Amino acid sequence: MPWCWTSNGDSGPRFILEPTQRHLRPRRWRLSEMSVSAIKVALELSLPGSQIYVFTDARAKDYNKTKDVLKLIQDKESQVVFVLTGDCNNSAHEGYTAYEQIAATSSGQVFHLNKSDVEEVLKFVELSVQTRKVHLISTDMSQGAVQYHWLPVDTRLRQFIISLSGDNPNIMLRAPNGDVIPVVPNSPENPPTGPYLEELLTLGKAYIVAIRNSTPGVYRLNVSSTSSVPSVCKESVC
Protein backbone atom coordinates (compact mmCIF):
# COMPACT_ATOMS: atom_id res chain seq x y z
CA MET A 1 0.00 0.00 0.00
CA PRO A 2 1.45 3.38 -0.91
CA TRP A 3 1.80 5.96 1.81
CA CYS A 4 3.19 9.45 1.84
CA TRP A 5 5.19 11.23 4.51
CA THR A 6 5.01 14.94 3.90
CA SER A 7 6.62 17.93 5.57
CA ASN A 8 7.76 21.43 4.72
CA GLY A 9 10.39 21.94 7.35
CA ASP A 10 9.42 24.17 10.27
CA SER A 11 6.18 25.45 8.70
CA GLY A 12 4.02 22.61 9.95
CA PRO A 13 3.93 19.14 11.49
CA ARG A 14 4.92 15.95 9.71
CA PHE A 15 2.15 13.50 9.03
CA ILE A 16 1.59 10.19 7.30
CA LEU A 17 -1.16 9.95 4.72
CA GLU A 18 -2.51 6.49 3.96
CA PRO A 19 -4.99 5.69 1.17
CA THR A 20 -8.56 5.06 2.27
CA GLN A 21 -9.76 1.48 2.33
CA ARG A 22 -12.69 2.29 0.05
CA HIS A 23 -10.81 2.99 -3.16
CA LEU A 24 -7.05 2.98 -2.59
CA ARG A 25 -6.17 -0.20 -0.72
CA PRO A 26 -4.85 -2.84 -3.17
CA ARG A 27 -5.06 -6.59 -2.84
CA ARG A 28 -1.75 -8.25 -2.01
CA TRP A 29 -1.60 -10.06 -5.33
CA ARG A 30 -2.02 -6.97 -7.48
CA LEU A 31 0.91 -5.58 -9.43
CA SER A 32 -0.48 -2.04 -9.36
CA GLU A 33 -2.17 0.26 -6.88
CA MET A 34 -3.83 3.66 -6.64
CA SER A 35 -0.63 5.45 -5.71
CA VAL A 36 -1.10 8.56 -7.89
CA SER A 37 -4.40 9.21 -6.11
CA ALA A 38 -2.57 9.01 -2.77
CA ILE A 39 -0.02 11.56 -4.00
CA LYS A 40 -2.81 13.84 -5.17
CA VAL A 41 -4.43 13.76 -1.73
CA ALA A 42 -1.07 14.44 -0.07
CA LEU A 43 -0.52 17.48 -2.28
CA GLU A 44 -4.01 18.78 -1.58
CA LEU A 45 -3.66 18.44 2.20
CA SER A 46 -0.05 19.59 2.61
CA LEU A 47 1.26 23.14 2.72
CA PRO A 48 3.00 24.70 -0.31
CA GLY A 49 6.65 23.76 -0.63
CA SER A 50 6.24 20.44 1.18
CA GLN A 51 8.49 17.40 0.77
CA ILE A 52 6.43 14.30 0.03
CA TYR A 53 7.93 10.80 0.30
CA VAL A 54 6.17 7.89 -1.40
CA PHE A 55 6.97 4.29 -0.44
CA THR A 56 5.55 1.56 -2.68
CA ASP A 57 6.39 -1.82 -4.20
CA ALA A 58 4.01 -1.61 -7.18
CA ARG A 59 3.39 0.55 -10.22
CA ALA A 60 0.52 3.03 -10.41
CA LYS A 61 -2.85 1.69 -11.50
CA ASP A 62 -4.28 5.21 -11.78
CA TYR A 63 -1.53 6.70 -13.97
CA ASN A 64 -4.26 8.47 -15.97
CA LYS A 65 -4.37 11.00 -13.10
CA THR A 66 -0.72 11.95 -13.52
CA LYS A 67 -1.51 15.24 -15.32
CA ASP A 68 -3.66 16.34 -12.38
CA VAL A 69 -0.77 15.66 -10.02
CA LEU A 70 1.71 17.52 -12.22
CA LYS A 71 -0.53 20.59 -12.19
CA LEU A 72 -0.81 20.43 -8.40
CA ILE A 73 2.97 20.19 -8.11
CA GLN A 74 3.38 23.35 -10.16
CA ASP A 75 0.78 25.15 -8.03
CA LYS A 76 2.18 23.96 -4.68
CA GLU A 77 5.90 23.91 -5.67
CA SER A 78 6.27 20.70 -3.66
CA GLN A 79 8.87 17.96 -4.09
CA VAL A 80 8.01 14.26 -4.44
CA VAL A 81 10.56 11.52 -3.75
CA PHE A 82 9.81 7.86 -4.49
CA VAL A 83 11.27 4.86 -2.68
CA LEU A 84 10.43 1.83 -4.83
CA THR A 85 11.00 -1.75 -3.74
CA GLY A 86 9.66 -3.26 -6.96
CA ASP A 87 8.49 -2.43 -10.49
CA CYS A 88 6.83 -5.74 -11.46
CA ASN A 89 9.67 -6.35 -13.93
CA ASN A 90 8.37 -3.75 -16.37
CA SER A 91 9.99 -0.34 -15.90
CA ALA A 92 8.58 0.85 -19.26
CA HIS A 93 4.95 0.51 -18.14
CA GLU A 94 2.97 3.77 -17.91
CA GLY A 95 2.22 2.97 -14.29
CA TYR A 96 5.93 3.13 -13.57
CA THR A 97 6.92 6.03 -15.84
CA ALA A 98 4.26 8.11 -14.05
CA TYR A 99 6.56 8.07 -11.02
CA GLU A 100 9.46 9.32 -13.13
CA GLN A 101 7.33 12.16 -14.55
CA ILE A 102 6.17 13.23 -11.11
CA ALA A 103 9.70 13.12 -9.69
CA ALA A 104 11.16 15.06 -12.63
CA THR A 105 8.48 17.77 -12.49
CA SER A 106 8.90 18.24 -8.74
CA SER A 107 12.73 18.10 -8.76
CA GLY A 108 12.44 14.88 -6.78
CA GLN A 109 13.98 11.45 -7.27
CA VAL A 110 13.15 7.79 -7.74
CA PHE A 111 15.15 5.41 -5.56
CA HIS A 112 15.12 1.68 -6.40
CA LEU A 113 15.89 -0.28 -3.25
CA ASN A 114 15.52 -3.64 -1.60
CA LYS A 115 12.97 -3.87 1.19
CA SER A 116 15.82 -4.46 3.65
CA ASP A 117 17.29 -1.04 2.76
CA VAL A 118 14.18 1.02 3.52
CA GLU A 119 15.16 1.56 7.18
CA GLU A 120 18.39 3.24 6.06
CA VAL A 121 16.43 5.51 3.72
CA LEU A 122 14.09 6.51 6.56
CA LYS A 123 17.09 7.86 8.47
CA PHE A 124 17.86 10.16 5.55
CA VAL A 125 14.20 11.16 5.25
CA GLU A 126 14.18 12.15 8.93
CA LEU A 127 17.26 14.31 8.39
CA SER A 128 15.77 15.93 5.29
CA VAL A 129 12.48 16.98 6.87
CA GLN A 130 14.25 18.54 9.85
CA THR A 131 16.01 21.14 7.70
CA ARG A 132 15.01 23.88 5.33
CA LYS A 133 16.12 22.91 1.84
CA VAL A 134 16.53 24.96 -1.32
CA HIS A 135 16.76 22.94 -4.52
CA LEU A 136 19.71 23.74 -6.76
CA ILE A 137 20.20 21.12 -9.50
CA SER A 138 18.25 18.17 -10.89
CA THR A 139 19.36 16.45 -14.08
CA ASP A 140 18.95 13.20 -16.00
CA MET A 141 22.02 11.33 -17.21
CA SER A 142 22.40 8.93 -20.10
CA GLN A 143 23.87 5.52 -19.40
CA GLY A 144 27.57 5.63 -18.56
CA ALA A 145 27.75 9.43 -18.72
CA VAL A 146 29.69 11.76 -16.44
CA GLN A 147 28.37 15.21 -15.54
CA TYR A 148 30.21 18.24 -14.19
CA HIS A 149 28.63 21.04 -12.18
CA TRP A 150 30.07 24.19 -10.65
CA LEU A 151 28.57 25.05 -7.26
CA PRO A 152 29.10 28.54 -5.82
CA VAL A 153 29.20 28.55 -2.01
CA ASP A 154 29.02 31.64 0.19
CA THR A 155 29.28 32.22 3.95
CA ARG A 156 25.52 31.86 4.45
CA LEU A 157 25.42 28.20 3.43
CA ARG A 158 25.70 25.58 6.14
CA GLN A 159 25.97 22.53 3.91
CA PHE A 160 25.12 20.93 0.59
CA ILE A 161 23.37 17.59 0.33
CA ILE A 162 24.12 15.67 -2.87
CA SER A 163 22.02 12.63 -3.76
CA LEU A 164 22.54 10.27 -6.68
CA SER A 165 20.22 7.42 -7.68
CA GLY A 166 21.05 4.78 -10.26
CA ASP A 167 23.43 1.89 -10.80
CA ASN A 168 26.96 2.28 -9.41
CA PRO A 169 26.59 5.92 -8.32
CA ASN A 170 29.78 7.90 -7.81
CA ILE A 171 30.48 11.44 -6.58
CA MET A 172 33.71 13.44 -6.57
CA LEU A 173 33.92 17.02 -5.34
CA ARG A 174 36.81 19.45 -5.70
CA ALA A 175 37.31 22.40 -3.37
CA PRO A 176 37.80 25.94 -4.74
CA ASN A 177 41.59 25.38 -4.59
CA GLY A 178 41.29 22.26 -6.77
CA ASP A 179 41.85 19.65 -4.04
CA VAL A 180 39.62 16.57 -3.98
CA ILE A 181 37.44 16.73 -0.87
CA PRO A 182 37.81 13.57 1.27
CA VAL A 183 34.89 11.23 1.94
CA VAL A 184 34.28 9.95 5.48
CA PRO A 185 31.68 7.55 6.92
CA ASN A 186 28.52 8.78 8.62
CA SER A 187 29.04 10.48 12.02
CA PRO A 188 32.87 10.25 12.11
CA GLU A 189 34.56 10.25 15.53
CA ASN A 190 37.39 12.51 14.40
CA PRO A 191 36.11 14.53 11.43
CA PRO A 192 38.54 16.58 9.32
CA THR A 193 38.91 20.24 10.22
CA GLY A 194 38.51 21.32 6.59
CA PRO A 195 35.75 20.55 4.08
CA TYR A 196 34.73 16.89 3.81
CA LEU A 197 31.93 14.71 2.42
CA GLU A 198 29.98 12.74 5.02
CA GLU A 199 28.23 9.64 3.69
CA LEU A 200 24.58 9.76 4.77
CA LEU A 201 23.36 6.83 2.67
CA THR A 202 25.42 4.23 0.80
CA LEU A 203 23.45 1.58 -1.07
CA GLY A 204 23.81 -0.20 -4.40
CA LYS A 205 21.52 2.24 -6.22
CA ALA A 206 21.54 5.25 -3.92
CA TYR A 207 24.38 7.43 -2.68
CA ILE A 208 23.84 10.55 -0.56
CA VAL A 209 26.53 12.75 0.98
CA ALA A 210 26.62 16.06 2.84
CA ILE A 211 29.37 18.65 2.47
CA ARG A 212 30.58 19.69 5.91
CA ASN A 213 32.79 22.65 6.88
CA SER A 214 32.39 24.25 3.49
CA THR A 215 34.41 27.37 2.74
CA PRO A 216 33.36 30.14 0.33
CA GLY A 217 34.23 29.65 -3.31
CA VAL A 218 33.24 27.67 -6.40
CA TYR A 219 33.24 23.87 -6.04
CA ARG A 220 33.45 21.43 -8.95
CA LEU A 221 31.16 18.40 -8.75
CA ASN A 222 31.64 15.25 -10.84
CA VAL A 223 28.79 12.71 -10.79
CA SER A 224 28.45 9.45 -12.68
CA SER A 225 26.21 6.41 -12.71
CA THR A 226 25.30 3.62 -15.09
CA SER A 227 21.74 4.99 -15.16
CA SER A 228 20.81 7.77 -12.81
CA VAL A 229 18.90 10.89 -11.93
CA PRO A 230 21.26 12.99 -9.79
CA SER A 231 20.05 15.78 -7.60
CA VAL A 232 21.91 18.43 -5.65
CA CYS A 233 20.33 20.50 -2.92
CA LYS A 234 21.72 23.29 -0.79
CA GLU A 235 20.46 24.15 2.68
CA SER A 236 20.10 27.71 3.93
CA VAL A 237 20.93 28.66 7.49
CA CYS A 238 17.77 28.33 9.62
pLDDT for the residue numbered 18: 45
- CATH level 3 topology of 133-236: Jelly Rolls (2.60.120)
Over range 153-167, report the average pLDDT: 79
pLDDT for the residue numbered 29: 46
CATH class, range 3-129: alpha beta
Q: CA–CA separation, 78 vs 119, rounded Å?
A: 24
What stretch(es) of the chain map to CATH 2.60.120.380? 133-236
Residue 7's pLDDT band (boundaries 50, 70, 90)? very low
pLDDT in tens, 161-205: 888 877 788 889 999 999 999 999 887 788 888 889 999 888 777
* pLDDT above 70 for 133: no
What stretch(es) of the chain map to CATH 3.40.140? 3-129
* pLDDT above 90 for 2: no
